[in-house]
């Protein structure tokens, strides 16, 4: 049974590229009207236009820097003014800046990493979750990473922020239940434009240890998103679903 999101409104952060772009298309194909948000206004508009043509659903483009607390309230107000509701929030935006060594991590880099991966999702989720709980309910889906439980030297601040996202989601489930469900997709590596600069010789050796022996395709995350966004997951909240190809 394909999830039916007809009449629902879904907001996806980081929706103009990578995994978020696939999520927007999948949610619209399932019947939802969608809001595409990222820092890049032009990219958001392009995606919204494409998705609207593909699906026939309404698609709103709205730029917002999720790392800036003072921008998030305006995003929420604009979305509710346009649609009157949000039924599905997908906290997908994230970033993992590179650094030479842990002692070289600057306060600016650390703060930026935590702001986009944790602080922004917290603010957006609490504003929208409060409205969901006071209205007809909804689903909050946060995209974490296996880094949250398997931190490596190259991305310690990112891993810490994603671990916080997991804790936050369970807190949201308890705070906004029973009308609002909050769950986490713990994603493994997926082949997107973001992974183009990776050291693939080293990474391919690691991927051979995965149960499925390969990196994920972006569209392979959408099944979990649609499950958690829809009534198919009506008794699932405070959960963490790993979509990682059996990463050891």
Active site residues: 158
Q: Taking a C-beta distance cutoff of 8 angstroms, is the pair 81, 132 a contact?
A: no
d(CA 124, CA 142): 11
d(CA 168, CA 48): 29
Cis check for the bond before 178: say yes or no (omega within 30 of 0).
yes
Closest of 114, 163, 139, 127 to residue 23, by C-alpha: 139
d(CA 202, CA 196): 14
Distance of alpha carbon 117 from its chain centroid, rounded? 9
């Amino acid at each position: 049974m394909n999830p039916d999101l007809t009449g629902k409104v879904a907001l996806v952060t980081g929706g103009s590229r990578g995994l978020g772009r696939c999520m927007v298309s999948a949610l619209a194909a399932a019947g939802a009207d969608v809001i595409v948000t990222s820092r890049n206004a032009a990219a958001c508009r392009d995606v919204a236009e494409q998705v609207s043509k593909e699906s026939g659903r309404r698609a709103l483009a709205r730029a917002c820097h999720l790392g800036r607390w003072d921008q998030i309230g305006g995003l929420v107000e604009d979305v509710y003014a346009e649609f009157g509701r949000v039924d599905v929030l997908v906290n997908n935006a994230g970033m993992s800046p590179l650094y030479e060594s842990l002692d070289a991590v600057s306060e600016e880099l650390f703060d930026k990493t935590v702001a986009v991966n944790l602080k922004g999702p917290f603010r957006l989720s609490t504003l929208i979750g409060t409205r969901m709980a006071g209205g007809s309910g909804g689903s909050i889906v946060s995209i974490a990473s296996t880094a949250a439980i398997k931190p490596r030297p190259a991305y310690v601040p990112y891993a810490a922020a994603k671990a916080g996202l997991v804790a936050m989601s369970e807190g949201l489930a308890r705070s906004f239940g029973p009308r609002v469900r909050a769950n986490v997709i713990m994603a493994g590596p997926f082949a997107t434009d973001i992974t183009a600069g990776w050291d693939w010789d080293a990474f391919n050796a690691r991927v051979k240890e995965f149960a499925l022996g390969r990196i994920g395709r972006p569209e392979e995350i959408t099944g979990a998103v649609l499950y958690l966004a829809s009534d198919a997951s009506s008794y699932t909240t405070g959960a963490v679903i790993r979509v990682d190809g059996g990463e050891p």
